[in-house]
Structure 1
Amino acid sequence: MCLAIPALITEKKTNNMATTEILGVTRDVSLDLTPQAEVGDYVLVHAGFAIEVIDEEYAKETIELVKQFEDVAV
């Protein structure tokens, strides 16, 4: 199973790269698949690529669900 995680774009860089913030951690991701993404947008990130621009409400709901993963016993 693959998981894409919501991230907030905080800075656009050269070569279709962007700095994102994911649960308090910054990561550089490729915007090759989402060239329309801008600073302040939320994107779904998978394997270092922003694969879709999503709305803020959906992003925040998903982040809250991800935070619950640590409460689940395996």
Structure 2
Amino acid sequence: MCLAIPVRIEELLDEQTAVACIGGLRKTVNVALLDDLKVGDYVILHVGFALQKLDEAEAQRSLALFAEMGQLAEAERAALGEMQS
């Protein structure tokens, strides 16, 4: 299953990497595909890559839907590329 999930950027390490908050954990993610990122921005994360920015309200709605479906933990693992086939 391929999923992307909204995550919040917590720290910018360099032009290609940042630390994101994912399910309460801080993970290093690749942000090379995006410009003008700031701490506090929300991005869509897929297999460890930030694909696009989105606003906080949309991010919160998406996270709430994943949680409501009972799929938040699985979506977080999938977004990081940690799913086992």
* TM-score, with structure 1 as normaliser: 0.85
User: 1:54 and 1:15 mapped to 2: Cα distance?
Assistant: 19
Partner of 1:70: 70
Task: Provide the residue aligned with 2:79 in structure 1.
Answer: none
- Is the 1:16–1:35 contact (alpha carbons within 8 Å) kept by the matching residues of 2? no
Give aligned-pair identity as a percent. Answer: 37
Equivalent residue number for residue 50 of structure 1: 50
State the AA in 1 paired with 2:5.
Answer: I
Aligned counterpart, 1:20: 20
Which one has a larger percent helix, Structure 1 or Structure 2?
2
Tell me the distance in 2 between the aligned counterparts of 1:69 and 1:22: 17
C-alpha deviation, 1:2, in angstroms:
2.1
Amino acid at match of 1:29: V
Structure 1 gaps of 5+ residues are: none
User: Equivalents in 2 of 1:65, 1:23: separation in Å?
Assistant: 14
In structure 2, list runs of 5 or more residues that go unmatched: 72-85
Q: CA deviation at 1:26?
A: 1.5
Distance 1:36 1:20 in 2: 16
Normalization by structure 2: what TM-score? 0.75
Give CA deviations for 1:29-61 in whole Å, capped at 9, x if unaligned: 011111321111000000110000000000000
